[in-house]
Amino acid sequence: MGSFPGFQKETRVSPSRPAAVVVLAAGAGTRMRSATPKVLHAMGGRALLGHAMTAARAVDPERLAVVVRHERERVAAYVAEADPSAVLVDQDDVPGTGRAVQCALQRLDAEAATDGALVVMAGDTPLLDGETLAALVEAHAGSGNAITVLTAHVDKPFGYGRILREGEQVVGIVEERDATDAQRAITEINTSTYVFDAAVLREFLGGLGADNDQGEVYLTDVVAAAHGRGLPVRALTVDDPWTVEGVNDRVQLAALGAKLNDRILARWMRAGVTIVDPGTTWIDVDVELAPDVTIRPGTQVHGNTVVGQGAEIGPETTLIDCEVGEGARIVRAHAELAQVLPGGSVGPFAYLRPGTVVGERAKVGTFVEVKNSTLGTGSKVPHLSYVGDADIGAGTNIGAASVFVNYDGVNKHRSTVGENARTGADNLFVAPVTVGDGAYTGAGTVLRHDVPAGALALNDFGQKIIDGWVEKKRPGTPAAKSAAAARGATGEERPATGDEAGPSANDPGGAGTDGTETSVSEGSRR
């Protein structure tokens, strides 16, 4: 048979609909050295098993079955969430891929007889895509095969089962441990991906034994049995071995993750997205990017993030499950489960937490954290502020170093700032509090009560001036010398301030002439 290049795309692609796809996900994956089941390790924002199930669905099978055993409850929970219509199959204590497929076929047949093409694939080959599976199904149907095996040629085949051929016919598959030296020299390998005629598979599975080095029931033994009966068994060979590479340890997980990311980036760049530095950019498989999006260096776009046309993301930005509108700009920021509407601006050094909505042309500026809050059209939180559980109206400006005090130690409360309000720097909004439309607040104001529309709110405690305090209480310091020099330059006399003695051990701060305590903080006494 001819060869077929692997390609990462997951849409329904097979006109020859298989009766079923069986995904094998029962293995322990001990080489991962992990408490997490191997098939649940993530790559490109999706578990290894999720990649396999997505590829399986792309060929539109009548039924999809997943075989589970190791960490059964965790794997089963993932399957149920990812694809509720998938059939869960429990493998019993008999080890081996042959037994796993036999359990799957028995489970499927218990619901309805399985007739026609049945695809078997591993749950740990994340780059195996729907296009490749579709080509395998088409080759099987077009050639009238009893079995069609997906194979690849690799330079270093150690560890893989080898394909034994007689011309175009595949006569058997021998595992590495059971192979002779001559067979180990073969570079064509089994990828653990097959299409079987269900009747042929059903017939031969019952006769499989475990007479091999590992004492397991090998699915590959069905190939030799079918050939021995004179049935046609052929192979389809992929051009790119990465497409069928499996994950056995974390080294392979990282290598395949990088290869997957390369394919994702290439696909988006060909679709009209500018990725300035592919070497430092990571994009998950479920991300959606519009044409003319620009991704700058050091950026990660994860989950189900959607980015609109002309938006600029990065540098040094992470987006997780976010929605970014057309023309928005996000710079050196971290955002999760947040929305930035068209024309919005975020960063640098901003943090958008879940539930944040940055309105059209609104701005979240430098060192600003926003959580579960809405900024109206054109509103701004430019500097050094925390906005938590708040609704800010259109055209409003929140002054620098402001904090929405949303937590009373037990419960969270919301605050509201109306449209076109102007709040001063260093404000505290003690929730729940409402500031009306067009209201102003003074710098340093603590807002504990609602502010009517158009009002000015401030905390006026007055400002006390104690002339000559520095020269009196901090004599000889650079500040005192500068103050004295300034007085001398203007001809200003130093005002009388009472006792000219310096600060004593018992009165480190001293007092003003009216007896008011003027001590500085403990930190500045040192």
Instruction: Check 140, 227, 334, 383 and give the catalytic one.
Output: 383
Q: Above 50 in pLDDT, residue 1? A: no
* pTM for this prediction: 0.85
One-letter amino acid identity for 346? Answer: V
How do residues 36-86 score in pLDDT, each as one tens digit? 999 999 999 999 999 999 999 999 999 999 999 999 999 999 999 999 999
**Res 460: pLDDT:** 84
Q: Does domain 3-244 have CATH number 3.90.550.10?
A: yes
**Res 216: pLDDT:** 81
**Res 510: pLDDT:** 38
**Res 487: pLDDT:** 86
- DSSP for 383-424, written as a single string: ES-EEESEEE-TT-EEPTT-EEE-B-SS-B--EEE-TT-EE-
How do residues 289-340 score in pLDDT, each as one tens digit? 999 999 999 999 999 999 999 999 999 999 999 999 999 999 999 999 999 9
How do residues 448-465 score in pLDDT, each as one tens digit? 999 999 999 999 888 899
Antiparallel, parallel or unpaired: β 162-166 and 169-174: antiparallel
- Buried/exposed code over 137-161 (b: 16+ C-beta within 10 A; e: otherwise): bbbbbeeebbbbbbbbeeeebeebb
Q: Where are the beta strands (DSSP E) in 26-116?
A: 42-43, 46-47, 63-68, 87-90
Q: Above 50 in pLDDT, residue 374? A: yes
Using CA atoms, how far residue 182 sits from 174, 356, 463, in Å, is: 11, 63, 94
CA distance 414 to 373: 9
Compute the half-sphere exposure of residue 52: CA atoms within 13 Å on the CB side of its CA.
Answer: 33
Q: Above 60 in pLDDT, residue 92? A: yes
- Mean pLDDT, range 265-280, rounded to an integer: 98
Using CA atoms, how far residue 501 sits from 231, 290, 525, 526, in Å, is: 111, 73, 17, 20
What rounded mean pLDDT belongs to the chain?
90
Hey, which CATH number is domain 250-457, 3.40.50.450, 2.30.110.10, 2.160.10.10, 3.30.499.10?
A: 2.160.10.10
**Res 6: pLDDT:** 30
Q: Above 50 in pLDDT, residue 484? A: yes
Indicate the domain borders of the chain: 3-244, 250-457, 469-525
Percent of the chain with pLDDT over 90: 83
**Which residue is listed with tokens 């009388």?**
496
Query: How far is residue 222 CA from its own chain's centroid?
Result: 41
> Does the annotation mark 413 as catalytic?
no
- Mean pLDDT, range 140-165, rounded to an integer: 95
- Mean pLDDT, range 184-212, rounded to an integer: 90
Confidence of residue 439 (pLDDT cuts 50, 70, 90): very high
Percent of the chain with pLDDT over 70: 89
CA distance 226 to 94: 23
- Mean pLDDT, range 351-375, rounded to an integer: 98
Phi first, then psi: give them for residue 27, nearest 5 degrees.
-70, 160
How do residues 383-397 score in pLDDT, each as one tens digit? 999 999 999 999 999
Q: Nearest CA to 443 among 430, 464, 458? A: 458
**Res 516: pLDDT:** 37
